[in-house]
Amino acid sequence: MMLSRRAALHSLTGLGLAAAGMTASRAQGKFPSQPIKLIVPYPAGGPYDGIPRVVTQFIGDKYAWTFVIENRAGASGLTGILAAKQMAPDGHALVITTSSTHGSAPAINKGLRYDPYKDLDPVILLGEAPMALLVRSELPVKSVSDLIDLLKKNPGKYNYASGGYASQHHLASSMMLYKSGLPQDIAAHVPFLGLAPAVGALVQGDVQFMFTTTGAVAQFIENGRLRPLAVSSRTRSNRMPDIPAMTELGFPDFNIVPWCGLAAPAGTPKEIRVQLNGAFNAALQDPSVKSRIAALDYDVRGGTPEAYTDFFVADIKQYTQLTSATGIHQKQ
């Protein structure tokens, strides 16, 4: 039987649509179907770059997934976040979020050009770095309460360092003063361009105390030149189990820590984010991954996307309260 030209075209079109449907079905059923681009909104080097490289290497070896890490540094993470929010929400584009981009910046920077709640979908909290409150060993204090009493009795006499204005080091000291009922100027803040010169100033005696991650100061704690009084996280650090958390010392809800997480462009299907979450959780439970991340001065975390959402929402809330109380704002 002869087919008319119209019938033949209709038949071919139907076959084409069926084939396209089968291809789409296969594409939807297999993830990932191409290399996954992971944007790091900071320069190469440092924990925000190192942690995703460690974790994706494990996932690549275990699941044969391919990751392409792209460093898009600039404006304290803003450049990379803005690039990520514009990418296709299909799971093949991810971005590292941090205690700055999804913690302090939304509270401090009123001109932020992204919505931390709506522009990205959470995947997982990768890790956090509890900081230690350190004093010079010559300072006559053995506890946080001793330090607070010393500052009360000597307003304006002592200084504290940070790795930069509105850094987590700065904000932790500011939060301690705020929650102690002390004015912000009872001790002078000395911001440095980076953590190394700030630690150097503390060791040399130019400042008397500061909050910092411990990797850069471990040798000075070991030789007794610096004394740790507390850690800045809600619970004790895995790497400093003998040092009390600020929450144990009369500072409820104190949790000022550098951290990093993973997010995807808004609209990424939940089932894909769940699959990504499972792969990253598996990596974070591996002993070798934990060890390599610990070497970067971080403790691994993990958990569900919902738990990560709760975490960063609480982080923004505490910084918003601090900003409202102290007037700390983003310097232009």
> Looking only at Cα atoms, what is the longest distance across the chain?
104
Query: Is pLDDT of 223 > 80?
Result: yes
Q: Which of 327, 73, 9, 26 is nearest to 184 (CA)?
A: 327
Q: How much is the pLDDT for 170?
A: 96
Task: Give the C-alpha separation, 213 to 159, whole Å.
Answer: 19
- The DSSP secondary structure of 223-263, one letter per residue, reads TTSEEEEEESSSS-BTTBTTSPBGGGGT-TT-----EEEEE
CB 82 within 8 A of CB 114: yes
Q: Which CATH number fits domain 35-129+258-326: 3.40.50.800, 1.10.10.10, 2.60.40.1190, 3.40.190.150?
A: 3.40.190.150
- For the record, the structure tokens of 152 come out as 């009360």
Q: Which CATH number fits domain 132-249: 3.40.190.10, 3.40.50.300, 3.40.50.1820, 3.30.110.40?
A: 3.40.190.10
pLDDT in tens, 5-50: 344 334 333 434 333 333 333 334 589 999 999 999 999 999 999 9
Binned at pLDDT 50, 70 and 90, residue 89 comes out as very high
Q: Which residues of 47-85 are buried (b: 16+ CB within 10 A; e: fewer)?
A: bbbbbbebbbebbeeeeeeebebebbbeebbbebbbbbb
Residue 165 exposed, middle or buried by CB count within 10 Å (0-12, 13-18, 19+)? middle
Do the domains spanning 35-129+258-326 and 132-249 agree at the CATH topology level?
yes
Average pLDDT over the chain reads 90
> In the chain, where are the structural domains located?
35-129+258-326, 132-249
Task: Give the C-alpha separation, 27 to 22, whole Å.
Answer: 9
- For the record, the structure tokens of 90 come out as 């299909």
Q: How much is the pLDDT for 253?
A: 87
Helix, strand, or coil (residue 188):
strand
pLDDT in tens, 127-136: 999 999 999 9
CB atoms within 10 A of CB 247: 18
pLDDT in tens, 94-150: 999 999 999 999 999 988 999 999 999 999 999 999 999 999 999 999 999 999 999
- For the record, the structure tokens of 94 come out as 């991810």
Q: How much is the pLDDT for 237?
A: 87
Strand ranges, E, within 72-180: 93-98, 120-128, 132-136, 159-162
